[in-house]
């Protein structure tokens, strides 16, 4: 059964999609079977991974029931992806079925056993698309840039997270906050890292030990339709994302071991 991880933050520009792409690509490079799911109408995850987001059926057709999950999965290199485009922006108005917050969960159920990891990128807003991501996931990861404004919205995230746990997904867990665009020499970065620790405590989680340093490669890679490991494997962001993935794998392993003890 796949471990499903949602990347989430109400604030845009925090490196959420870059982190989603790096996590999916990094796991695939290590031999895991990975499905990336783009729940953002901007379609940036697919674009970042080299997909023509205007060709073929998308997550929107899947959620509406106009296509099966098998029909909307596209193979790129060593990653499978369910892409998105601007049509998904109408989801709030058009997806009016009962239990509509569970549409993604139900869509993915037939393929969950085919993958080790499912990585879901969500829009920078708390709407029906983000809610679907939360409902389908085992884990939340919160990317946060080393800027004061990236703290905005985390209180609402906590409320949404607790609501989902109390209603449709009681097993949902926050893995932690991953700090992006970090510059060690800047006092602001160090201050935000400290504040992130305080916020993490309020969310009953922690800040990942890895921080993602600023680097031009992270900004350039999506423009070339490449993930950071393909575009600049020796860059600081690539090394940092590697360390971040190490932590993800360790957390999942510990959860699996604890689960076996509870059986």
Please give the pLDDT value at position 187.
87
- The beta-carbon contacts of 162-170 under 8 Å, at least 24 apart in sequence, are 164/131, 164/134, 164/135, 168/101, 168/102, 168/135, 169/134, 169/135, 169/136, 169/137
pTM of structure: 0.95
Please give the pLDDT value at position 47.
86
More confident residue, 191 or 134: 134
What Cα–Cα distance (Å) separates residue 233 from each residue in 24, 81, 209, 220, 237? 15, 22, 20, 13, 9
What is the token pair recorded at 249? 């794998």
Contacts of residue 136, defined as CB under 8 A and 6 or more positions apart, other chains included, come to: 4, 6, 102, 104, 105, 108, 118, 120, 169
Mean pLDDT across the stretch 77-87?
92
What is the token pair recorded at 159? 């409320």
Our CA angle for 165, 111, 96, nearest 5°, is: 55
Question: Which among 172, 127, 126 is positioned nearest to 3, based on CA atoms?
Answer: 172
Gap between the Cα atoms of 115 and 104, Å rounded: 16
In the three-class reduction of DSSP (H, G, I as helix; E, B as strand; rest coil), residue 36 is classed as strand
Please give the pLDDT value at position 1.
87
What is the extent of the structural domain holding 121? 3-262
In the three-class reduction of DSSP (H, G, I as helix; E, B as strand; rest coil), residue 88 is classed as helix
Residue 263 has pLDDT above 70, yes or no: no
More confident residue, 169 or 226: 169
What is the token pair recorded at 128? 């029906």
> CATH number, domain at 175?
3.40.50.300
- pLDDT tens sequence across 36-61: 999 999 999 998 888 877 788 999 99
Pairing between β-strand 79-82 and β-strand 34-38 as defined by DSSP bridges: parallel
More confident residue, 52 or 94: 94
Please give the pLDDT value at position 250.
97
Gap between the Cα atoms of 163 and 145, Å rounded: 25
Question: Which among 165, 136, 103 is positioned nearest to 1, based on CA atoms?
Answer: 136
- The domain total for the chain is 1
Query: Taking the alpha carbons of 82, 86, 92, 93 in that order, is the dihedral positive or negative?
Result: negative
């Amino acid at each position: 059964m796949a471990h499903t991880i949602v990347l989430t933050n109400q604030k845009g520009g925090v490196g959420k999609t870059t982190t989603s792409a790096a996590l999916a690509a990094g796991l695939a490079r290590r031999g895991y079977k990975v499905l990336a799911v783009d729940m953002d109408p901007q379609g940036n995850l697919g674009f970042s991974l080299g997909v023509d987001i205007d060709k073929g059926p998308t997550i929107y057709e899947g959620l509406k029931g106009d296509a099966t999950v098998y029909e909307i999965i596209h193979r790129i290199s060593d990653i499978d992806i369910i892409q998105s485009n601007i049509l998904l922006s109408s989801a709030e108005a058009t997806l009016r079925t009962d239990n509509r917050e569970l549409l993604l969960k139900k869509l993915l159920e037939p393929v969950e056993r085919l993958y080790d990891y499912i990585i879901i990128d969500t829009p920078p807003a708390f709407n029906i698309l983000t809610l679907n991501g939360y409902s389908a996931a085992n884990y939340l990861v919160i990317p946060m840039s080393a800027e004061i404004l990236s703290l905005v919205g985390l209180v609402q995230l906590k409320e949404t997270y607790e609501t989902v746990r109390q209603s449709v997904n009681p097993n949902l867990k926050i893995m932690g906050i991953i700090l992006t665009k970090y510059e060690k020499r800047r006092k602001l970065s160090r201050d935000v890292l400290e504040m992130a620790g305080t916020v993490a405590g309020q969310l009953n989680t922690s800040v990942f030990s890895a921080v993602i340093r600023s680097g031009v490669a992270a900004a350039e890679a999506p423009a070339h339709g490449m993930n950071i490991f393909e575009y600049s494997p020796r860059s600081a962001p690539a090394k940092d994302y590697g360390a971040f993935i190490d932590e993800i794998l360790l957390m999942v392993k510990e959860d699996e071991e604890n689960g076996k003890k509870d059986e």
